[in-house]
């Protein structure tokens, strides 16, 4: 049986935290203005301290943070294929561990998982050792790719693709490939089936059709 060789980020990959945050801020009369890769301004302007307070508070609304379409199906598929638990690493603050576990329980829906919380995205590979990562934060994706990991970066509105096309950017030792579109359940499973580097028994150099 093949083994899993992939680690999932949580926010922006398995769950749509950003849309919830925007709604959360809007209810308080604050507009979210995207300015780049995971950066945004607000109108009216608020202090960083206040913003992080809101970011933390919004995470506690577990029932309002919806799974990405297809996310559960992919996790179920990968677990059925391998029998391995899904691995998830997030750099959410440790103070939110209880709501983070509830959020992960919700999206995994009974699929066994391991998870770790890290202070910095740089720590991600240290705790869960896989060769492949899925991460929506461009800086993290590029940082991991520079260290030799294969990274799948779903295209999001805040996330300038590494190549200017719809879908995933895949970075492996400087090579960039496109795989498909994350938000389509069928397409997502098709991607997972095709990308054999997700499985430890296969050759990491093989990428995409």
Binding site for Mg ion (CB under 5 A): 9, 11-12, 136
Tell me phi and psi for residue 32, to 5 degrees: -95, 120
Rounded CA gap, 41 and 46, in Å? 9
Of all residues in this chain, which one has the CB nearest to Mg ion in the complex?
A: 12
User: Residue 81 or 127: which CB sits closer to Mg ion?
Assistant: 127
From the CB of 2, what's the least distance to Mg ion, in Å? 26
From the CB of 124, what's the least distance to Mg ion, in Å? 11
Sign of the torsion formed by the C-alpha atoms of 120, 167, 108 and 53: positive
CA atoms within 13 A on the CB side of 34: 12
DSSP 103-132: HHHHHHTT--EEEEE-SSGGGHHHHS--SE
From the CB of 191, what's the least distance to Mg ion, in Å? 18
User: Residue 1 or 39: which CB sits closer to Mg ion?
Assistant: 39
User: Residue 68 or 78: which CB sits closer to Mg ion?
Assistant: 68
User: Residue 54 or 158: which CB sits closer to Mg ion?
Assistant: 158
User: Residue 9 or 84: which CB sits closer to Mg ion?
Assistant: 9
From the CB of 11, what's the least distance to Mg ion, in Å? 4
Q: How far apart, in Å, do the first and last CA atoms of the chain sit?
A: 23
DSSP letter at 6 equals E
From the CB of 142, what's the least distance to Mg ion, in Å? 14
Rounded CA gap, 159 and 139, in Å? 10
Is it true that the peptide bond before 44 is cis, omega within 30 degrees of 0?
yes
User: Residue 84 or 136: which CB sits closer to Mg ion?
Assistant: 136
Tell me phi and psi for residue 142, to 5 degrees: -70, -40
From the CB of 9, what's the least distance to Mg ion, in Å? 4
């Amino acid at each position: 049986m093949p083994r899993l060789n992939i680690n999932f980020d949580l926010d922006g990959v398995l769950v749509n935290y950003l849309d919830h945050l925007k709604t959360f801020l809007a209810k308080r009369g604050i507009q979210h203005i995207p300015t780049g890769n995971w950066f945004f301004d607000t109108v009216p302007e608020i202090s960083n301290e206040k913003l992080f307070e809101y970011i933390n508070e919004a995470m506690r609304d577990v029932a309002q943070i919806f799974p990405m379409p297809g996310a559960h199906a992919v996790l179920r598929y990968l677990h059925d294929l391998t029998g391995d638990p899904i691995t998830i690493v997030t750099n959410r603050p440790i103070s939110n561990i209880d709501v983070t576990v509830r959020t992960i329980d919700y999206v995994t829906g009974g699929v066994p998982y391991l998870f770790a919380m890290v202070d910095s995205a740089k720590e991600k590979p240290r705790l869960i050792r896989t060769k492949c990562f899925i991460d929506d934060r461009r800086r993290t994706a590029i940082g991991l790719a520079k260290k030799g990991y294969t990274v799948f970066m779903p295209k999001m509105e805040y996330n300038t693709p590494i190549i200017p096309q719809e879908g995933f950017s895949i970075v492996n030792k400087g090579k960039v490939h496109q795989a498909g579109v994350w938000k389509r359940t069928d397409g997502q499973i098709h991607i997972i089936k095709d990308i054999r580097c997700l499985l430890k028994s296969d050759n990491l150099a093989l990428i995409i059709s």
